[in-house]
Amino acid sequence: MKKYRLKKFNVTLITFIILMYLEIVFRLITNINIFNVSLLYVILYSIIVSLFISFISTWFSEKVNKVMFYVFHFFIILIYIVQLCIYKMFGFYFDLSLLNASDQVISFAGDGFKLIIKNTFYIVLLLLPFILLLIFIKRVIIKKTEWKFNLLKLGVMLLIFGVFLLSLNINRDDINSAKKLYYDVSNNELNIKEFGIINSFIIDLHRHIWGFDANINIIDGEYEEKPSSEEEEEVVVYEYNNLDIDFDSLIANESNSIVKTMHEYFKNEDGTLQNKYTNYFAGKNLVLFMAESFNEIAVREDITPTLYKLVNSGFVFNNFYTPTISSTIGGEFQELTGLVAASGFLSPWKNGENYFPFGLATTFQNLGYNTFAYHDHTYTFQSRHKYLAALGFDNYLGCRNGLENKINCNQWPESDVEMIEATFDDYINSEEPFMVYYVTVSGHGDYGFDYSAMARKHKDAVANLNYSEKPLAYLAAQIELDQALELLINKLDESGKLDNTVIALVGDHYPYYLSLDEVNEIASYEKDSVVEINRSNFILWNSEMETVEIDKVGSQIDVLPTIYNLFGVEYDSRLIIGKDILSTEPGLAIFGNSSWVSDKGTYFASSGKFISHDESEVDSDYIKYMNNIVSNKIAMSRYILTYDYYRKVLGE
């Protein structure tokens, strides 16, 4: 029987068909819109990639050409499968910066296997082109092509690439237009939705290797007047929470264009004013939690009464968000630095390379506090021992560096109650005020009574609730956090230090081991998958204070400056991207794909849609202004790390 020969021009055609198939299937699975201008970009780039593969895999012998052809297609399909699995597990897409979190990726290997099993049908759909290629492998014959014909393909490829670049001018002035995404903005999720998986991967690879400097638009003045001060504040003239920094001198002596632009940006910032809550908690002890997968859906008077009490008394933040960016390390980075984690630049943070004069332990030590940090899982996970040291914690304790002698570190997840019980005596008798930082783990997924030791421990407490297993297991696991807080409060009370101690708590991310449907199963209202799924609580509580309700929007990046103002820490509010929620600064929460929530409404970056909170009209200039603000805050957060900016401005 005569073999069918895969002719030279058919290599291009078959590759193009495969690429279009993969992109359409992926978009259908992940609910990305197909029929818009992005389809044009996908088609053009698929032609370019098809010509490139044809160009590369037709220079050599039949055997070598075939191997290269199959390797290219397997690698492309693998990219789609990885993106699918990452998205299904975490709700965001893979980019190369996540390689810096390799230990977290490894730790999720078992969960990833479950995810593969759960999504076997979709994965097989993506693998189908390669399976068919394997079936017909003996009929695939790719002859060596004459160099003239290959050069012709190269010329056509460059021509199509030129057409692609010209097509970027479609709607070029729109917010997050294709042209801005391609040249000026680092936003992997929007790149995938606009350009497709392969093009976005190539963009990410190029920026990862050669670096990328996002565009910065320094904005003069404000779009709107800041909210009017309260009556008491009209009488008092407050100072700014700023340090004395000679930005003019820094600008004059800086040769790096990006760093010079940073100096100009921060010089142009006003900072935030002190207010009636400045020094409100001065001299008190502080116990700060980063609570694993804590979310407002875990706060219930019936099964988590301590969380319910703390959320609904003290400072009550009614519009607070914990944007899920790069999983736990992203949430912790935002809480402890006041910077946005939305641009994939956490390697310097993870490695503890940067200078942090406003580091949590450092600032409180400067106030005469004794500082402590604990985590009831492996102390080196995500290099936490390195970045906590950079923040001034020199006595951080976790499993495998001493805490295993006090708690059971051989169960998963470990017990938050045991951590409080084992560590309380370390600081309670401190002659100086103390600041304690706890990183919990009991609420970690996957959620199932067979999987989670903490869910099993509290299974009976949720037995009467009418939910499916995973939401029930999540709630059961959060009971452990609730009981840990109850234990802490009781011990502080018994020691006579409760009234002089502030308890603060924020989650690292929403429980992404639950699907959106499972989250909504136990939520009080229908949440979307971008913004409202991240709505949560910021606990900031002292037993002596009256309840104060705050309606302004806030997020994790606002935690640090809010605490610093309350405790009288000297810091520069211009240099921390988050802002004191209790100040007159307008509220803002920034999400991983550059969506945002302000006090006026919610903006969805992928659709360009703005929804007003009170149904009032908001003009396009406001949306454009806010998008520039968001873009600048993301870019500055990145540059503060990548250029070790605090060292340049404040030195050692």
So what's the pLDDT on residue 232? 44
Structure token digits, residue 249? 């001198």
Pairing relationship of beta strands 538-541 and 501-507 according to DSSP bridges: antiparallel
So what's the pLDDT on residue 39? 93
Preceding omega of 413 cis (within 30 degrees of 0): yes
**Domain map of the chain by residue range?**
8-210, 231-269+287-314+329-650
The arrangement of secondary structure in 231-269+287-314+329-650, i.e. its CATH architecture, is 3-Layer(aba) Sandwich (3.40)
So what's the pLDDT on residue 233? 45
The identity of residue 261, as a single letter, is T
So what's the pLDDT on residue 101? 53
Non-local CB neighbours of 600 within 8 Å, separated by 6+ positions: 612, 613, 616, 618, 622
So what's the pLDDT on residue 100? 59
So what's the pLDDT on residue 230? 45
How many Å apart are CA 120 and CA 564, to the nearest integer?
49
Roughly how many angstroms between the first and final C-alpha of the chain, as a whole number?
78
* E strands in 431-577: 434-439, 501-507, 535-536, 538-541, 548-555
73 C-beta neighbours (distance < 10 Å), count? 20
So what's the pLDDT on residue 8? 43
Q: How large is the greatest C-alpha to C-alpha distance in the chain, in angstroms? A: 96
Give the SS3 label for residue 554: strand
DSSP β-bridge partners for residue 287: 436, 503
Non-local CB neighbours of 554 within 8 Å, separated by 6+ positions: 317, 319, 320, 321, 538, 562, 581, 587, 589
What is this structure's pTM? 0.89
Burial of 579 per CB tally in 10 Å (0-12, 13-18, 19+): buried
* pLDDT averaged over 10-residue windows placed end to end, the chain, 652 residues: 49 93 95 89 95 90 90 95 86 74 54 75 95 86 83 93 94 84 87 94 88 73 50 68 96 95 95 97 98 97 98 98 88 95 77 93 97 97 94 96 96 97 97 97 94 96 96 98 98 98 97 94 94 97 97 98 98 97 96 94 92 87 92 93 94 73
